[in-house]
């Protein structure tokens, strides 16, 4: 009879410990998910303004064509701001235009938070 009494006490203690561990585990999971959501929300505002980067390899070159490549955050950057930077950066005749040439997001020289790269072709002013 005494053996059973000890067994019941041990089972009650074990259930209490396991119950406490489940509460702690659930709290840690909930806290971790909250941090993850907060980090994702903060990351959506990261990236800053678009900036110039290196051009992709193996671009077709004819008649001294000039290319401008720009890294940007696809979530926070407007098309107009990217095109404006490309227009300012072209060294061709002042008053020339740009033409969208290529877009890539994999294996480029852009950092993770501004992973998209757009490449523009600088066109001289029409005479």
> Which residue's structure tokens are 């999971």?
29
Helix (H) or strand (E) run with residue 20 in it: helix 2-43
Sketch the domain layout of the chain as residue ranges: 1-43, 51-123
The 10s digit of each residue's pLDDT in 63-121 is 778 899 999 988 888 999 999 999 998 876 666 789 999 999 888 888 888 889 999 99
Distance set, CA 44 to CA 39, 105, 106 (Å): 9, 17, 19
Whole-number pLDDT of residue 1: 45
| Cα gap 19→50, rounded to integer Å | 52
CA angle (45 as vertex; 120, 32 as ends), nearest 5: 130
């Amino acid at each position: 009879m005494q053996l059973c009494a000890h067994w019941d006490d041990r089972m009650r203690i074990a259930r209490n410990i396991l119950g406490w561990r489940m509460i702690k585990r659930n709290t840690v999971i909930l806290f971790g998910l909250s941090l993850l959501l907060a980090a994702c929300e903060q990351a959506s505002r990261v990236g800053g303004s678009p900036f110039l980067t290196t051009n992709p390899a193996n671009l077709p070159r004819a008649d001294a064509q000039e290319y401008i490549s720009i890294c940007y955050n696809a979530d926070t950057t407007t098309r107009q701001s990217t095109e404006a930077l490309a227009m300012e950066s072209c060294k061709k005749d002042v008053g020339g235009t740009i033409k969208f040439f290529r877009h890539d997001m994999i294996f480029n020289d852009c950092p993770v938070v501004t992973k998209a790269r757009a490449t523009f072709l600088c066109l001289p002013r029409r005479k």
